[in-house]
Structure 1
Amino acid sequence: MQGLTNTPEPQVSVVIATYNMGQYLPDAVSSVLAQNWANLEVIVVDDGSTDDTSERMQVFEDDSRVRYIPTENRGQPKAKNRGLTEAKGDFIAFCDADDLWDPDKLKVQMPHFEDPKVGVVYSEVSYIDQDGNRIAKPQPYDRHSGSVTNHLVIKNFVPFGTAVIRRKCLEQNGGFDEQLPMGIDWDLWLRYSVDWHFTYAPDITYIYRIWPGQMSKNYRGRYDNAFRILNKFINQHPGVISEKLKSRAWADMYVSRGMAVAGGDKAFVEPLKDIILGLRLDVFYWPAWRALAKLVLRRV
């Protein structure tokens, strides 16, 4: 299938990998099922939950669109890949078990696949707290469309749960790297960006829940894996980005880690070393100079 014009709605497979998210999971599944898009399936892969997830999923037993697959605990990448293996649709989307979809998500994003070069369509996100109350949060990154590799090596600007992918991306460029405990979406987008265009739809179609204890707060682990991912991409795709851009990407990585450590640990010496290293890699990278000023003035 190249385009979507004058064809029935193509099937979209929605993968939800979950671990001990029983309190939020039914709402996530229900939000996907509430789509203004009839031809979809929801694949819930339970990565060895020890809470009441299985009991809470019983409410969907009679809905043929929902498949609940309990497995042993093997980690997030393997759970997501199991979902990809089970997916039957020509397009695949994701929802984290503690998040929500807007009812118009697929209606908004799917028309962008009319262009056969587009492999990933992503959108904007809003935020709620653990009780479902709206949170105002500024968008930290610019969004990009088209051939995005040069932007993506600097920042992962694609909110994971907003993305819908063409199955051919999976067949051609593979699924999630099961050796990475974190950052698996950035690794996936980098690989897809080499051969496919990305399209940004500015509509808010995804609702991200911020609550205590979620993995995203582990900034040291996140950056350890980010260094691995960037190094892996550069080594496996020689010549895709210029030497100058490589230096800038590494500079940003060091500066970003330094600022994360400065903010999280209220440290000074360790972040200073990272920022200086970033400046040595790319002395003209102005965010590094801005970070240095903020650190020295203790405004982190």
Structure 2
Amino acid sequence: MIPTKPVVQQAPVKVFVASTGNGFMRDIGSWLVEAARLSGRTATLVDDSLPGADGAINLVVAPHEFFELFDASASELQRAAAASVCVCTEQPGTPWFHLAVDACRRGLYTLDINPQGVAALRDVDVDSAHLPLGAVPSITAPVVDRSIDVLFMGGLDDRRAAVLADLAPHLYRRNADIRVFHFDRPVTATTPGVLFGAEKYALLASSTLLVNLHRDRSAHLPAGTTPPAYFEWARMIEAMANGCVVVTEPSDGFEPLRAGTHFVETSADRMAAALDELLADPARIEQIREAAQHAVCIELALHQPLNLALDHIEGHVLPRLAEHVATSRPTRGLWRLGASRVTPPVRLGPFRPHLAIQKRAKQLALAENQTLRQLDALSCLLRHGTEQHIERVETPSFATAEPQVSVLVTLYNYADVVVETLDSIVASEGVEMELIVVDDHATDHSRAVVLDFIAAHPEAPVVLLGKDANEGLAAARNTGFEQARAPFVMVIDADNMIYPTALAKLAKALNDEPDAAAAYSILEDFGTQRSIRSAVAWDVDRLCHANYIDAQAMWRVGDWRRLGGYRADDDHVYGWEDWDLWLRLAADGGHAVLVAQMLGRYRVQQSSMIALTNLATDDAIDAIRARYPSLPWPA
């Protein structure tokens, strides 16, 4: 009888992720579980317990999150870190990387998905190795239709926002999808507009190009230091596995992938040109797509390097682990993790020695506004026999127009820029529109400028409603809404602009989502600042912290009317008329839909109205919170 070779039982694998951490890390954790199972091991994803010296290989993904967010004492966390093999995912030099180091130092061995991270860990005497990321079968989604030309997914900072703003003039005719989030809270499956797992892979499989922009790390490094160009391996792998061609800023540490073969590398100032060139060359896109997909799914398949790493850990780390955890070494040295669960110290409120003066100044300024409006009404009464008289001037084509969208521009002392706004509106494509301009008794020659515009554009359906007594922004907008003939009204300030496709795309969003009361798009900042705004999907919790959605939005007239229009009778909302209406919509159980494309332009300049609003805000915020008590206001 031939003797049989005894079966060697391999150590099981546990992959730990934070239950309330970023969903991106859970995705990476699920890849590791799948790859370990493909290697023949038992593997599970764990988010409800700490690692221990129990004979398993404990891989902790994103230790800066896991040990920060898990509810346990410092000594328990430190011993758990000692029993772990941390899998680091963060860029060296960032606060998150430094937190991860505290956990890595407790353990005997660490893995990092980027060679830069390995080098930085070794610089602080952490025994570490590179875990090359690759694809697992579940990442690849079936391709139904690549309807999205350009996709961006990432956290928003000033640098990325400025680069995205520069892309706006090149993308408004494309089918773009700009999905951004903020770094101020964990990004989870409940974060509006952000996708994970199968939904994210399906989005990538529906996209032709993925734009990759580096984060701004200047605040995390010494002055004058140039950060290394970090290659975001996880983002690249999931894009390439789904045939989405990556267009990235120059990076380091991407080997064995090759720029020009597996992805396209270009500088930020040439990003727009690179996108245009690629989209005009489908053959090159297909060539890069095939090479990249084969590389990450076959040549670099994750189960191959992970199996080698697990064999090394089982043979050289596990035999020493129990003794290591039992010593006092894991509890020595710097430990900064867990600070978010510590009750913060009681702090004094902001030092505002002139608050009483600021409040009084705001009251006087608002009283002056009211007095001037009363004088306007009196003057109008003397001239016209009524406290309000509205001059109406139409283009010849206005009366017979059958608009799908009414565009409302309220005007007060923007004579020098309003023509740019009006030109951008009448250049709209793919939708029948009418333009309603409400002059709120401007003190410059705004009305004359609009009259000249009407005379020069007889073919465009335009009406000017010139008030002879100023009533304020909210009342002016309400006047325009009341005159609208279309079911949708687009609100645009007199110094801002839209791209030609904006109206058609926003109207389509409202038609596609009948329950949405309004639609808004991402706006490109221009003027004294390059950035983007109104870029995050509808999020009531975020809305209660601050208004992040600009007035430039398209409303269903029926919903606007049901909500009662803009509040024109309360000084507390002066300058916050838009925020008040968004909050009213939220309190009513309604919502607005974000069209995740850059379709409008926001002129950044000093605003006296906002300056007056922000002179003293405490009373106004208290009044708004009291008006909408059912909303989830921050403590």
Same fold (TM over 0.5): yes
Matched, 1:15 2:408: yes
Evaluate the alpha carbon distance shift between residue 74 and residue 190 of structure 1 in structure 2; reply closer, same or farther with a 3 A threshold. Answer: same
Letter in 1 for 2:547: N
Evaluate the alpha carbon distance shift between residue 95 and residue 158 of structure 1 in structure 2; reply closer, same or farther with a 3 A threshold. Answer: same
Quote the offset at 1:107 in angstroms.
2.4
State the partner residue of 1:181.
Answer: 574
Instruction: Output one character per residue of 1:186-228: Cα deviation in whole Å (capped at 9) or x when no partner.
Output: 1111112223222111211111112234423332256653443
Letter in 2 for 1:86: Q
Evaluate the alpha carbon distance shift between residue 232 and residue 53 of structure 1 in structure 2; reply closer, same or farther with a 3 A threshold. Answer: same
Evaluate the alpha carbon distance shift between residue 85 and residue 222 of structure 1 in structure 2; reply closer, same or farther with a 3 A threshold. Answer: farther
Letter in 1 for 2:580: D
State the partner residue of 2:473.
Answer: 76
- Supply the distance in 2 between the matched residues of 1:154 and 1:97 (Cα, whole angstroms): 27
Match of 1:103 among 500, 520, 523: 500
Number of residue pairs aligned between Structure 1 and Structure 2: 224
Evaluate the alpha carbon distance shift between residue 53 and residue 10 of structure 1 in structure 2; reply closer, same or farther with a 3 A threshold. Answer: closer
**Which blocks of at least 5 consecutive residues in structure 1 are unaligned?**
1-8, 235-239, 249-281, 283-300
Quote the offset at 1:155 in angstroms.
2.4
State the partner residue of 1:264.
Answer: none
Which structure 2 residues correspond to residues 86-101 of structure 1 after superposition, within 5 A? 86-101=483-498
State the partner residue of 1:34.
Answer: 427
Letter in 2 for 1:87: A
State the partner residue of 1:293.
Answer: none
Q: TM-score when scaled to structure 1?
A: 0.68
Q: Specify which structure has the bigger relative contact order, considering alpha-carbon pairs within 8 angstroms and separated by 6 or more residues.
A: 1
State the partner residue of 1:157.
Answer: 548
- Supply the distance in 2 between the matched residues of 1:37 and 1:223 (Cα, whole angstroms): 45
Instruction: Output one character per residue of 1:240-299: Cα deviation in whole Å (capped at 9) or x when no partner.
Output: 33xxx33x1xxxxxxxxxxxxxxxxxxxxxxxxxxxxxxxxx4xxxxxxxxxxxxxxxxx
Counterpart contact for 1:13–1:89, Cα < 8 Å = yes
Letter in 2 for 1:85: E
Could you say what secondary structure the match of 1:85 adopts? helix
State the partner residue of 1:233.
Answer: 628
Match of 1:199 among 573, 581, 593: 593
Counterpart contact for 1:123–1:201, Cα < 8 Å = yes
State the partner residue of 1:260.
Answer: none
Match of 1:56 among 449, 468, 476: 449
Counterpart contact for 1:216–1:222, Cα < 8 Å = no
Quote the offset at 1:25 in angstroms.
1.0
Percent identity, aligned pairs only, is 24
Matched, 1:143 2:536: yes
- Supply the distance in 2 between the matched residues of 1:203 and 1:60 (Cα, whole angstroms): 30
Letter in 2 for 1:31: S
Counterpart contact for 2:521–2:535, Cα < 8 Å = no
Could you say what secondary structure the match of 2:471 adopts? coil
- Supply the distance in 2 between the matched residues of 1:165 and 1:85 (Cα, whole angstroms): 13
Match of 1:128 among 526, 540, 547: 526
State the partner residue of 2:462.
Answer: 66
Quote the offset at 1:149 in angstroms.
3.1
Instruction: Output one character per residue of 1:37-79: Cα deviation in whole Å (capped at 9) or x when no partner.
Output: 3311111111111211122112213245111111011111111
**Which blocks of at least 5 consecutive residues in structure 2 are unaligned?**
1-401
Counterpart contact for 2:421–2:497, Cα < 8 Å = yes
Letter in 2 for 1:34: A
- Supply the distance in 2 between the matched residues of 1:205 and 1:156 (Cα, whole angstroms): 19
- Supply the distance in 1 between the matched residues of 2:438 and 2:498 (Cα, whole angstroms): 18
Counterpart contact for 1:18–1:45, Cα < 8 Å = yes
Larger radius of gyration: 2
- Supply the distance in 1 between the matched residues of 2:622 and 2:407 (Cα, whole angstroms): 29
